Structure 1
Amino acid sequence: MLPWVVRRTRLPLLSLRCVTCRAESATAARGRFRVNANGKLLDVWLLVHCVSCGRTSKLTVRERATVSSFDPNDLHGHQLNDPDLVAATLLDPAFARRCRFTLDWTGAWRLDAPVVPLDGWPVQVNVTFDDPAPVRPDRLIAHRFGLTRSEVLRRVKCDIPLNRPTSTAFTFTVLAED
């Protein structure tokens, strides 16, 4: 069984309406937090900017929270703009729902896969994801094996629908040509 891994190459873009240019433009995370203290309460925002006009906006991570309510590692990560914490915050579905944005993964991932032996049909492949990058299995398989999508639908046996985006691990088998 061949291991394929879908990995993030950069943070995905956000589909979020810009308050300045009013376009439903993509915004990119700057990879920075802003932490503001007001007495014993802290506010934490993730800074994003509009790709169209360049305006910086803030997405609320925590609002009016006491210092003691923070995990010390998270608070330290917010203060240091930890890239892993930025990614974890951005990829959190609850954060996306609360801030009303969706992620655009176009060009933000790559497939790490070994060379497929040409004489070893059928080929079994296990696909795993490092991050929840939604990909259509039929396009992924067609691209890697150099097949058309109709050939993929004919020759591939899989336990999930091939024409719907997924970001969960799956296994498939490519059968030899008829």
Structure 2
Amino acid sequence: MSSHPHIALPWAVRRTRLPLLALRCVACPCGHATTGNGRFRVNANGKLLDVWLLVNCVSCDRTSKLTVHDRVPVHTLPADLLAGYTANSPTLVAETLLDPLTARRNRFALAWDGCWELHAPPVPEDPWPLKITVTFDDPVPVRPERLIAHGLGISRTEIARRVKIDIPLNRRTKLDFSFVLVWSLQ
């Protein structure tokens, strides 16, 4: 990026609430669901266990089940995990919802619009260049161009001139990255 000395600033992308699920409702034309209060349903059949995460349609409030575990032997689940399912642990609800294997198995995507915010300290006027490191607390897919424009309050044209970055600006990422902001040469 740059061999000149620079100031490093940390930025963090943090979740403000759980995202909606892009999941088609069977009862209405709505395409989004929410975890609501975050409840699990645990059902034992002999020595086998089923665990589902209950979600509600945002339009008609119909409850649907997302499979978390299907016919697993009870002794294979750790006791604290089973206790978290039966107690409807909010942390476990978030972990389950953000798990890509659960999303793939149940064929849903996460709708992150309005569910995250950028925590960024103010940008000092001098000296240049300025290195900014962006970290993600949760896998929020964001275009670096949009994030940088929001954090710095500059236009896309200005980003193209002043930002040196190793990843594409217009492709969504969930991974930590850094960029260097240089003084504009006009």
Q: Same fold (TM over 0.5)?
A: yes
CA deviation vs aligned residue, 1:4-57 (integer Å, no higher than 9, x gap) = 11111111111011011143x111112111111222222110010101111111
- In the alignment, structure 1 residue 129 sits paired with structure 2 residue 136: yes
State the partner residue of 1:96.
Answer: 103
Task: Report the RMSD for the aligned CA atoms in angstroms.
Answer: 1.1
- Calculate the TM-score normalised by the size of structure 2: 0.92
TM-score (norm 1): 0.95
Q: Name the counterpart of 1:156.
A: 163
- 1:130-153 per-position Cα deviation (integer Å, ceiling 9, x unaligned): 100011111111111111012111
**Structure 1 stretches of at least 4 aligned residues deviating more than 6 Å after TM superposition:** none
* Aligned with 2:112 (options 90, 105, 109): 105
Correspondence list, 1:62-101, <5 A: 62-101=69-108
CA distance in 2, matches of 1:112, 1:150: 23
SS in structure 2 opposite 1:81? coil
The one-character-per-residue Cα deviations of 1:102-123 (angstroms, maximum 9, x if unpaired) are: 1111011111111110223221
Structure 2 residues without counterparts, runs of 5 or longer? 1-7
Give the residue type in structure 2 aligned to 1:164: R
Alignment match, 1:9:
16
Structure 1: 5+ residue runs without aligned partners? none
Distance 2:22 2:155 in 1: 30
Query: 1:134 corresponds to which letter in structure 2?
Result: P
Q: Partners of 2:140 and 2:130 in 1: how far apart?
A: 24
* Distance in 1 between residues matched to 2:147 and 2:110, nearest whole Å: 19
- Aligned residue pair count: 177
CA deviation after TM superposition for structure 1 residue 65, in Å: 1.7
Query: What is the distance in 2 between the residues matched to 1:121 and 1:169?
Result: 22
